[in-house]
Amino acid sequence: MYMRIDPLEAWERLRASRSSRPGRASGGARAKTYATALEQAQQMFRAAEVVGPQTRPLLVFYGLSQAGRAIAAAAVDLKGEDWNLLSHGIHASGYHLDFADIEIRTDPVGTAGSFVRLSKLLRSPVWGNDTVVRLEEVWDTLPASLQYPLTDRERFTPLYASTDVIRGTDFHPLLTVEVGDILDRVVDAGSRMALDEFLQSYPGAAGYDDFARRRAGADADPDFERQNPNAGWLPMHWKMPAETGTREERLQRLSAMTRKYAGHRYFFPAVAGLPRELHPLMAWWAVLYALSMLARYQPAQWANHINVDGSRHAVPVEKILERAMEHLPVLIADTIEEVAAWP
């Protein structure tokens, strides 16, 4: 799915917010942290633009980490000293394994690490030390990774949720969403069984009522429309609660089922059997943390992975780092506005 991304406009929004600081960053130590952390984040992103993939993940990750401190400073839900982020709260290991199988773990729920506190703030799961999430699983949850798989294993990637069919103000008992980027293997299978099995990994899509069918009849197969050689579209329907169904109520229902990403809505897959999907900002955080730790502590291995003459991962890594610099300023600006406005 094509999306218009304007990182320069996002940085303008962020810079403008520093003289009229949002949420709880309006004064005191939180205001100083907000302004300084955003300045550091922007400088690190600028520095990342002029270096290659050898050092780019370090600069992009620590730029995101500093932006996370600004998000926490502005968040109305973080009171007392909970806004003051300290340790990482996330860990990577297994660098001797295949690149896609690098292992990511987090600190437990309720601890003070940055990843844990921001995840709680953004209603995003953490999984502690007993559950292993592979790099590839989180990588595949990024909309930017759709064309850049790490392996040829079965993937679960974000599903685009179009709002184009949610029109007018008339009452309607169904929420109808055109769902895009449904993977090729599901479209080729063409059955409800294949669709249902696939959607088990998408908590937000649970409980759908029906979908567009190839012909009349309750046993008819989904009427997928081929979007490109690798994915398709399918209009899907969810029942609205009783006595609801205005356009605004249907949009609210869609917002509760999906996550926002750069002005669009997506159904995101859950990883490793977790009960819900990662917030996209936290998915980027996990991926960039793993890449930055590999580049910092295992530089020889990192050099092998980004060698375009010898590694199948080199181009996907290059592209995902490019997309990180484009997408993250928008996600950061949107997230600050979101957490600063919560009651």
pLDDT tens for the chain, 343 residues: list them. 557 899 999 999 999 999 999 999 999 999 999 999 999 999 999 999 999 999 999 999 999 999 999 999 999 999 999 999 989 999 999 999 999 999 999 999 999 899 999 999 999 999 999 999 999 999 999 999 999 999 999 999 999 999 888 876 678 899 999 999 999 999 999 999 999 999 999 999 999 999 999 988 888 999 999 877 778 999 999 999 988 889 899 999 999 999 999 999 999 999 998 999 999 999 999 999 999 999 999 999 999 999 999 999 999 999 999 999 999 999 999 999 999 997 6
**Residue among 205, 223, 228 at smallest CA distance from 1:** 228
Q: Which two tokens stand for residue 99?
A: 């690149």
Using alpha carbons only, give the angle 220, 221, 227 rounded to the nearest 5 degrees. 140
Asked if residues 117 and 153 have their Cβ atoms less than 8 Å apart, the reply is: no
Helix intervals (H) in 179-312 = 184-189, 192-199, 247-257, 280-297, 299-305
Task: State the amino acid at position 1 in one-letter form.
Answer: M
Asked if residues 264 and 1 have their Cβ atoms less than 8 Å apart, the reply is: yes
| CA dihedral angle for residue 323, residue 98, residue 301, residue 64, rounded to 10 degrees | 30
Buried (b) or exposed (e) across 23-34, using 16+ Cβ within 10 A?
A: bbbeeeebbebb
Predicted TM-score (pTM) of this structure = 0.96
Asked if residues 306 and 88 have their Cβ atoms less than 8 Å apart, the reply is: no
3-class SS of residue 249: helix
